[in-house]
Structure 1
Amino acid sequence: MKKLSFLMLVAVMVVVLAACGGNNGNNVANNGGTEATNQPTEAAQTDAPKKDVTIKIFQFKVEIAEALNQMAAEYEKETGVKVDVETHGGGEDYSALLKAELAAGEEPEIFNSSGWAGFDPYVDRATDLSNEAWAKDLVEASKAQISRDGKLLGMPMNLEAYGFTYNKDLFAKAGITELPKTLDELDAAAKKLQDAGITPFALTNEWWSMGIHTLNIALANQADPAAFIEEVKAGTKTLKDDPTMKQWVRLVDIMFANGQKNALTTDYNTQVAEFAAGKYAMIQHGNWIQGMIDEVTPGMNLGMMPVPLLDAPNVFTGVPNNWIVNSKSANAEEAKAFLNWMVTSETGKKYIATDFKFVPALSSIEPNPEAIGSIGGDFALFAKANPTQVKSWNWDRFPDGVTQQWGAAMQEYLGKQISADELLSKLDKAVQDIVKK
């Protein structure tokens, strides 16, 4: 992929995130107060971190676990500060494990949190990072989701996008020459793949994949997702009676009817590994799986297909998570120093752009088009040509606990234990159960 295409990806994400963040009531005045400081962006820490100190990172992103450990070792070599990385993700409920960690009196120096309502449980622990040297370089629209009362309370991890990642070679083998733009066309494409002996979808039993990314397809297709979600939380609208949700159920039915037979026992790592081995034509994940795929089959001929639903197919982009410095930990200042090193040192920036394969959330980090791979490159081309078909991420506008219950209901539906009407009723009940607490 050419560098220009990747830069278009970054530019489009910036534009889309700005659009998503500018028209709802959740935005924070002054975008978290992250005006430029007089500190130099590229400067390393002016004061050397203390020696014989260990900072703990409690993080969820399994895709970067190995590289993050390597980066931590590099930091210890340079500074003498040990960084202990503990990763919980994939099939684990990171949010529940983090809350258990904190309830047990363990206070990691750095942990991950989503933004908007998903960040609410951790506001009291979050250190103000507004005046850090890197804060002025953040993509503008990445700030509001992690800001409160004019303060930037976390470092956005990166930018991501998803749709249906698909195997172009398997589509060609099945004689599919044009990507489906409607649910009818998606159904027909799945039949062509089946007729060619190819399983169309790689499915997973993971609650977060179904309860977050799958549900967001319906939420993002609302005329005003933020307003719609507020009405659902208030009980003035229901998911069960929403016409977009009814179309979404048909999309889910097409996916579930055309996936592998053992989907209920397929975890995330297995799902991605088997897709990377060429067993399936489509998978509902985005550019974050590029590194995992490259480990199995380097140079795989992949693309990002927009997801059909209503009038036009869409892809979805946002900030997946944030680094939070825990103010209640023993070494919060050393944690801030580590994050500063990660995004300002040449070593740290190389890990972010190349080893993590991230689309950086800071303008001061040069993206690496070779690392991001074909999935992100395909997104860049589509988003440049169809900016109105790039939609937002919205699940974090619901309180913590809602998406977990959604995922459980989706698992029941995947297992054919409940009907479509029962599924939608359970989705509504999950919202009201959590909101009323």
Structure 2
Amino acid sequence: MKKKRGLLLACSLLLAVLTAGCGRGTGEAGGIKTVRIYQFKVEISEALAKLKTEFEKEHPDIRLEIQSVGGGSDYGASLRAKFSSGDEPDIFTIGGNNERDMWLEYLEDLSGEAWAKDVKPLAAEQMTVNGKLYGMPMNLEGYGFIYNKDLFKQAGITQKPLTLTALREAAEKLKAAGFTPFANGYQEWFVLGNHNVNVAFAQQPDPESFIAGLTDGSKRFAGDPVFSKWLSLLDLTVEYGNKNPLSTDYNTQVTMVASGEAAMMQQGNWTQGQIDGIDPDLNLGILPMPIDDTPEDNDKLYVGVPSNWVVNKFSPVKEEAKVFLDWLVTSETGKKYITKEFQFIPALDSIKGTEEDLGALGSEVLEYTDKDQALTWNWSRLPNGMPQELSSSIQGYLGGKLTKEGMLKEFQVNWDNLSVQ
């Protein structure tokens, strides 16, 4: 009996080793190769299913197997679990900078692909290491203050407020006309911890150097002039904002602007679809977020790449994976899906989108980007968990639990703790 149990145990162990060694197999069956794609933008999952059909018509020897995980699920954790179990996708999506570095050992160098030369420099930067490009940017997104042009006109505002003083004057006029100047969704951690405080990082003379200085101790939050200016802007939004901003969520914030109750909100072009669902005829634009009275420095939006397509360099079908990515950005069908179906702002110069495709907000973000009037997204450069900690401290300040000095001190303590982990 003991011999039989020992034999069964040995067979089980051998099977486990063989299974782990083989992973997901060769990806080939009957001459048809399957490329497995794992991505987090659930809002494009239906369009991706249609795209899959179009691609497979043109490439009968390749099948796509697409899985979308997001919308409240922890995509990052689920992706790590897939790799830990040996169930590795061939194509997956990740952020740049810190996340890129975390996955770098798995990433195929895509620098030699024909489309790589067309990637906008701003989009390529976060996936480039030592001159090598390790990802295809999925799209561009940008944010600032989305504003209702008609409400501005009714309030007598005839020029875009590009200075902090001009923004205060505009807010006064809007308030006098009976409108709430700012809809602030400060309940959401990402509104504060990613987007709002990024203003203070992006406006630094050299954001990457400043972030490195915070880690090596040569820079501090307290006493930094740009962070002081940023706080003036934050205070202004609260002074002229909706009641109870710390209990106002994203949907409420967007609805306030879409319904005409509020004139401005700090958000990006990704809100276009939700706003159109409430009132497709709103006359919208995006304003910069000025932190002082130098208009030439403030007339910029914050533009970045929310995610990147990457190829698993250990995939047995990585060449077929590259065929799909190339088709996505070079074929007329693929380009149509990017602009018309996904409503993405293209991250490649070779893909053009009209205002009808991208919406007024997306078109304005693209215009700022092409005029080189875009500042960077920097939260992917921060220590892991830091954006959430920044948001918590800002909420503490807005709720009256922290002074400005106390908030900046908390920033520093959390940064020092997280940067050494």
Task: Pick the TM interval, shorter chain.
Answer: 0.7 to 0.9
1:423 partnered with 2:407? yes
In structure 2, what is the equivalent of residue 67 of structure 1? Answer: 47
Given the superposition, is the C-alpha separation of residues 418 and 280 from structure 1 closer, same or farther in structure 2, using an over 3 Å criterion?
same
Question: What does residue range 368-379 of structure 1 map to in structure 2 within 5 Å?
Answer: 368-379=354-365
Determine if contact 1:275/1:283 at 8 Å carries over to the other structure.
Answer: yes
| Unpaired segments ≥5 residues, structure 1 | 1-46
Question: What does residue range 11-22 of structure 1 map to in structure 2 within 5 Å?
Answer: none
Supply the distance in 1 between the matched residues of 2:45 and 2:188 (Cα, whole angstroms): 19
Supply the distance in 1 between the matched residues of 2:107 and 2:344 (Cα, whole angstroms): 24
User: C-alpha displacement at 1:97, in angstroms?
Assistant: 5.4
User: C-alpha displacement at 1:155, in angstroms?
Assistant: 0.5
The amino acid of 1:304's aligned partner reads: I
Supply the distance in 1 between the matched residues of 2:46 and 2:274 (Cα, whole angstroms): 11
Supply the distance in 2 between the matched residues of 1:373 and 1:410 (Cα, whole angstroms): 32
Determine if contact 2:354/2:363 at 8 Å carries over to the other structure.
Answer: no
1:58 partnered with 2:42? no
1:346 partnered with 2:332? yes
In structure 2, what is the equivalent of residue 208 of structure 1? Answer: 190
1:81 partnered with 2:63? yes
Supply the distance in 2 between the matched residues of 1:292 and 1:48 (Cα, whole angstroms): 42
Supply the distance in 2 between the matched residues of 1:384 and 1:129 (Cα, whole angstroms): 24
CA-to-partner distance for each residue in 1:13-72, whole Å, 9 max, x for gaps?
Answer: xxxxxxxxxxxxxxxxxxxxxxxxxxxxxxxxxx9996473623221x455454334434
1:136 partnered with 2:117? yes
Matched-pair identity in %: 44
In structure 2, what is the equivalent of residue 294 of structure 1? Answer: 276
> 1:260 is matched with which residue: 237, 242, 247?
242
CA-to-partner distance for each residue in 1:180-222, whole Å, 9 max, x for gaps?
Answer: 2333332332233233332222222222221122112112222
1:304 partnered with 2:286? yes
> 1:185 is matched with which residue: 160, 166, 170?
166
CA-to-partner distance for each residue in 1:218-240, whole Å, 9 max, x for gaps?
Answer: 12222222222221121111112
CA-to-partner distance for each residue in 1:257-280, whole Å, 9 max, x for gaps?
Answer: 333335434443443344323332
TM-score of the superposed pair, with normalisation by structure 1: 0.77
The amino acid of 1:347's aligned partner reads: T
The amino acid of 2:223's aligned partner reads: D
1:275 partnered with 2:261? no
**CA RMSD after TM alignment:** 3.2
Given the superposition, is the C-alpha separation of residues 144 and 381 from structure 1 closer, same or farther in structure 2, using an over 3 Å criterion?
closer
| Unpaired segments ≥5 residues, structure 2 | 1-27
Supply the distance in 2 between the matched residues of 1:48 and 1:297 (Cα, whole angstroms): 49
- Rg: which structure is higher? 2
Supply the distance in 2 between the matched residues of 1:77 and 1:404 (Cα, whole angstroms): 44
Given the superposition, is the C-alpha separation of residues 207 and 105 from structure 1 closer, same or farther in structure 2, using an over 3 Å criterion?
farther
1:322 partnered with 2:308? yes
User: C-alpha displacement at 1:171, in angstroms?
Assistant: 1.5
User: C-alpha displacement at 1:350, in angstroms?
Assistant: 0.3
> 2:220 is matched with which residue: 238, 242, 249?
238
Determine if contact 2:202/2:376 at 8 Å carries over to the other structure.
Answer: yes
Determine if contact 1:55/1:334 at 8 Å carries over to the other structure.
Answer: no
TM-score of the superposed pair, with normalisation by structure 2: 0.80
In structure 2, what is the equivalent of residue 23 of structure 1? Answer: none
